[in-house]
Structure 1
Amino acid sequence: MRPHHDTTVSDDLRETIRAFLEPELKPFGLKGLRIQAVVDHDDDTVLDIDADYEIEGPPVEIAKLAGLTTRLRSLLWNKGEERFPLIHHHIDDNRPLIES
């Protein structure tokens, strides 16, 4: 029997994710976030977060983006959320990137 997968995302959870990510990502030209729960290739339910950016904008700091998942995971875990957040950054190939 297939395990039950919770693919719902409450308004409170969406707001928690947005309130955390938007201030971190807007300086890099964040255009919008799409948040959904999906079943991954390991048959686990995860929080799938797509971050879309403006085509042109300031350089994007790779190190800052890389650390967001861990920080978001800790925040969500402390609020009782057990699903892992996966953040997909959709940045135009011509945007400058900064490694710090």
Structure 2
Amino acid sequence: MLKDAQIEKLVTPKLQEMLGPYGFASAHAESGFDHDGDPVVFLDANYREHAPELDALKALKAISETMNLLREHGDERFVHLRHVYPDDDYGIDDDEAAQ
């Protein structure tokens, strides 16, 4: 399995190519486990402020292409790709509301 820094270095150019027109700025990878205990990669695609709306088909293709890249380098883990926007208020108060 690839290390998180290796994954970031590997997938960032591909994500820039695919998602750059939608404001992609950087990627952050974190290895972990899904709800079944299987190893996965949690990958954040970070976007610039005021980025245009992401096309859903481009988002799906980004997941597929990212997984293909990892597979080509011997890493068979599933990738959970999350799109992170700095001007998105989603989730800010979720922890407080749950208390």
TM-score normalized by structure 2? 0.71
Deviation at 1:39, TM superposition (A): 1.4
When you count helix as a share of all residues, which structure comes out higher? 2
Deviation at 1:11, TM superposition (A): 3.5
Structure 2: distance between partners of 1:43 and 1:81:
17
Which residues of structure 1 form unaligned runs of 5+?
1-5, 94-100
Structure 2: distance between partners of 1:46 and 1:38:
5
RMSD of aligned Cα (Å): 2.3
Percent identical residues = 26
Go from structure 1 to structure 2 and tell me whether the alpha carbon gap of 1:10 and 1:66 turns closer, same or farther (over 3 Å shift). closer
Deviation at 1:61, TM superposition (A): 1.6
Large movers: runs of 4+ above 2 Å: 10-14, 57-60, 90-93
Q: How many residues align?
A: 88
The within-5 A match list for 1:60-79 is 60-79=54-73
Matching residue's letter, 2:71 = W
Contact 2:19 2:58 in 1 (8 A): no
TM-score normalized by structure 1? 0.71
The within-5 A match list for 1:4-15 is 9=3, 11-15=5-9
Deviation at 1:12, TM superposition (A): 3.1
Deviation at 1:10, TM superposition (A): 5.0
1:54-77 alpha-carbon deviations (Å, 9 max, x no partner): 231334222111121112212211
Which residues of structure 2 form unaligned runs of 5+?
89-99
